[in-house]
Structure 1
């Protein structure tokens, strides 16, 4: 078995067959010489570079996609023009789904999401409760619950949050 040339242990394989040099943290793709002299491509996935994080499309971007698709009647051309204008990419499937949603609902906006509704403990309601108890500190949470149409537990939760501030 041939010995390693070039010194003690900086560039060889780590335990388990993984290349130590791929863990540099730079997020770059590197080339490494394999046994037969061929270059092997090694990607560093430590920073999660495999996926990109695209933010949601704005209303202006959605409108542009639908309008451009109806002008060109071509998803690929719509994607190209979108990239020219907004300097970000959009997939052909996204264009298709947006156009389909526009045709079925007449709008480019998202449909309401299922699930638990928003909490009743909004900033405005908390301010109202705070003012009511500042005016009359002897008021009971049961009275406030009936007066404001908010559950007693929510009133207690709002008052508890007020104490922390």
Structure 2
């Protein structure tokens, strides 16, 4: 319906009511005004008439975009505080406590707070002798038996 001008939409509505509200007759009556492949389909005529009868207008009105309420500033702050209190808590448990969906909590953690699981962490500091001990072990396993420094 967005492809037709206001005048074309008015013409379609007029033909519809002139032809006793028959979509098929309206479709046939529009042959004189539109080329064969550019004529509005019957479903287009039905949609345009339904819109006209429900709203009283033939103007195109874009559908409103829904707001995304889950990633609000308040929810981000609540998730941040929850992580500070208990960083080891699972996402499903955290989302249940906060009253958010698991997906929303997951997105807040990753996109807004920049937290990702499985970060590589150094669990044990390497000492000075660790490199040579690893080298000796690798050489023994490979069968050379020689220690090279």
TM bin (shorter chain): 0.3 to 0.5
Larger gyration radius, structure 1 or structure 2: 2
- Kindly indicate which of the two structures has a greater share of residues assigned to helix: 2
Larger relative contact order (C-alpha < 8 A, sep ≥ 6)? Answer: 2
- Kindly indicate which of the two structures has a greater share of residues assigned to strand: 1
